[in-house]
Structure 1
């Protein structure tokens, strides 16, 4: 009743006045009064409707009308509704702006397509992955910009549960995963994700499994064949049986070395295995490695040691010994008989450098960047002849990474190679007071 009481009260007052005029001046005066009131009401209504129409056409420029009576109530309610709509529009605008900023920052490429497969919007990452530009390509058909046959088939299928793996149209080194997602009414969201690293890791996993299987298959085949031979011919001459047992022992040790290296790699790559620093006497370790090289060589090489620094290292003795031992054993393994192997410990520009130099066959430049990959071999047949597992330099790489060190490889085909482990200055330390210091020769003199 809040809306009706005022007009009903005005109507009652007008009728009362009309009745009074009728009684006092006759019916003509009463009808004239009512006609005047009717004309006033109609003109006032037209004026208020005009003000309302003018305000609704330009609500942000025209001042909201103000009036008394029921029209004042209408204007007030409309103005309040307008304020609510402005607040809702402002909140929606802020939400859309935040969404757009978030979409701009998303590392995945995002493209909004309308029902005609035209580009409505795309984020900056879509330029990196698909070569699209939001300003330049807005309204363009995505089919005209990305013409790969597999992508067009992907669009035609409209299978939202399917992902398309393909190369980037602007960078063939990038592998993308594309997916279509329903978006709004009749629209689709095309999402492009860079999966290059995932593909590379998956390829490495496949290669790793294939390499391990291949490396284990050969010794297992040999051992299995000899076991069958011994089982079928128990009366073999002792000399021949001994030869079979020696070969089986060699292949068994080869499998054992491979498994040991795999376990070492697994431990080094484990995030739970924290590095425990301890003082490492490099001079003592170098002498031990020299003895190890001489033992592996069996007198076939000349092994020398050159100590030009008395510095110690902070790190894991076990890991550092494993890494340097792999370099030494590789030098012995790939240096022809009569060759020279030199171990050197020195300092340069504040860094500690442990080098293993050999006079072997050398390595071509194109192979050097891949030497630390698992199972990568320059010459597979020669590697198997020498008993290598193909994991030694991969272990070296992981150990050095954990110690903040790096591996520098210099090689000249036909003349030899130098593998240098460069330890950062923060890994160097002086000998502890209680340590037994091994004297080292003067600059440029050989030890041992």
Structure 2
């Protein structure tokens, strides 16, 4: 008699089935809406304003499907590529400048005429560098900051802060004054397609894959995604990187960074 433990195989099979079911559901919803609008435009005489409105809604659903496919492709690429090496140095100053411009643009788009705009605070460029894949790190950092912008109400505050840890590692924290997250949801936030509030996530354009991508990028760089939240008071999402990934800035770059911080 031979016996074999197939727990891991069964878990992998269950994950595959859940993943396929989730992808099918996420794509089916905008596809159904899109098909409905097409049928309406084909079968009913519409005024020009009605036609323009339906086309705008169809474009939004198409963009949602495209975003979902792009996120799925990114996850697949992350899983199939070798781990980032330690020879590629990431310019955190440039990376954070891109993310800040993107976040401020998104905030203005979400609250264009609001009397109480969001307050976004970004630290000066950190006095150190990271090694790894710049495109992956940009996706991870951008996901955390843009999520904070999307879920923080008008008049709220978002604080983005880099720090060097006592063990030589580094930590990026994104703290917001949004609605916060109930404790039972926090352990599942890195799961694919898991959403605390499905309707709100879809309204804000989320695919349910952003935090999964962020968590995967952190793990590929030897780090982790940390989440702390208090319902009704806000949340802090942090990326922690190990000491081998952190390097001090070269002398010239350090001086420029110091001048930027003083300014």
Q: TM-score, normalised by structure 2?
A: 0.89
User: Contact conserved, 2:152 with 2:176, CA < 8 A, in 1?
Assistant: yes
- Counterpart of 2:145 in structure 1 is 328
- In structure 2, the gaps of 5 or more residues are 112-116
- Counterpart of 2:24 in structure 1 is 213
Deviations along 1:356-402, one digit per CA (max 9) or x if unpaired, are 11111111122111111111111112111111101111111111111
User: Contact conserved, 1:345 with 1:355, CA < 8 A, in 2?
Assistant: yes
Residue 365 of structure 1 aligns to a residue whose secondary structure is: coil
1:282 maps to 2:100: no
Residue 307 of structure 1 aligns to a residue whose secondary structure is: coil
Q: Distance in 2 between matches of 1:308 and 1:294?
A: 17
Q: In the alignment, which of 146, 157, 161 is matched to residue 344 of structure 1?
A: 161
Q: Distance in 1 between matches of 2:184 and 2:125?
A: 32
- Counterpart of 2:233 in structure 1 is 415
User: Contact conserved, 1:362 with 1:414, CA < 8 A, in 2?
Assistant: yes
User: Contact conserved, 2:118 with 2:154, CA < 8 A, in 1?
Assistant: yes
Q: Which has the higher contact order (CA 8 A, sep 6+)?
A: 2
Q: Distance in 2 between matches of 1:290 and 1:306?
A: 10
What pairs with 1:381-396 in structure 2 (closer than 5 Å)? 381-396=199-214
Residue 411 of structure 1 aligns to a residue whose secondary structure is: strand
User: Contact conserved, 1:307 with 1:441, CA < 8 A, in 2?
Assistant: yes
Deviations along 1:337-368, one digit per CA (max 9) or x if unpaired, are 22111111111212211111111111112211
- Counterpart of 1:355 in structure 2 is 173
- Counterpart of 2:195 in structure 1 is 377
Deviations along 1:405-438, one digit per CA (max 9) or x if unpaired, are 1111111110000011111111111234675944
1:193 maps to 2:4: yes
Based on CA coordinates, which of the two structures has the bigger radius of gyration?
1
What pairs with 1:125-140 in structure 2 (closer than 5 Å)? none
Q: Distance in 2 between matches of 1:309 and 1:263?
A: 31
Residue 3 of structure 2 aligns to a residue whose secondary structure is: strand
Runs of 4+ in 1 over 4 A off after TM superposition: 432-436
User: Contact conserved, 1:290 with 1:343, CA < 8 A, in 2?
Assistant: no
Q: Distance in 1 between matches of 2:132 and 2:159?
A: 24
- Counterpart of 1:430 in structure 2 is 248
- Counterpart of 2:261 in structure 1 is 441
Residue 194 of structure 1 aligns to a residue whose secondary structure is: coil
Give the CA RMSD over aligned residues.
1.9
- Counterpart of 2:36 in structure 1 is 225
Count of matched residue pairs: 252
Q: TM-score, normalised by structure 1?
A: 0.54
The offset of 1:334, in angstroms, is 1.4
Q: Distance in 1 between matches of 2:76 and 2:125?
A: 35
User: Contact conserved, 1:308 with 1:347, CA < 8 A, in 2?
Assistant: no
Q: Residue 403 and residue 435 in structure 1: after superposition, are their counterparts in 2 closer, same or farther (change >3 A)? A: same
Residue 131 of structure 2 aligns to a residue whose secondary structure is: strand
1:259 maps to 2:259: no
Q: Distance in 2 between matches of 1:432 and 1:250?
A: 45
